[in-house]
Amino acid sequence: MNEVLKEAGHGKFSQQDITQAEAEIYRTLSFSILQGTTLLDDVLITLRAAEGPVSFLQFVNPDLELVSTFVSKAYVHDVKLTALPMASQVYTVITVAVEFYRELLANE
């Protein structure tokens, strides 16, 4: 950052000026700033919090978490999908992961 301030900014901008400008750009583009947790965090928290006979989460285990991790990482490469509310993203990832996991079990 210091190199940017000195070379590109010719010493005319402070680090705070640049940080504020970045935040304004993110807000203008409707980017989410510091959500607190990542999609993968929220997916794993949701899977681990599922208790009892929850409709599509009847089998939470390390293999399902691994599949969910893979689906989460693939999911974030689609700009349109990542624009959805976080709860919708979590639901989508878990649903796809469960279906994928069921297929894996069926083919064993």
Does the pTM of the predicted model rise above 0.85? no
Question: DSSP character for 85?
Answer: -
Four-residue CA torsion sign, 100, 106, 107, 108: positive
**Can you give the pLDDT of all 108 residues of the chain as single tens digits?**
566 667 777 778 777 777 777 777 767 776 655 556 788 888 888 877 765 444 445 555 778 888 888 999 998 888 888 888 888 999 999 889 989 888 888 887
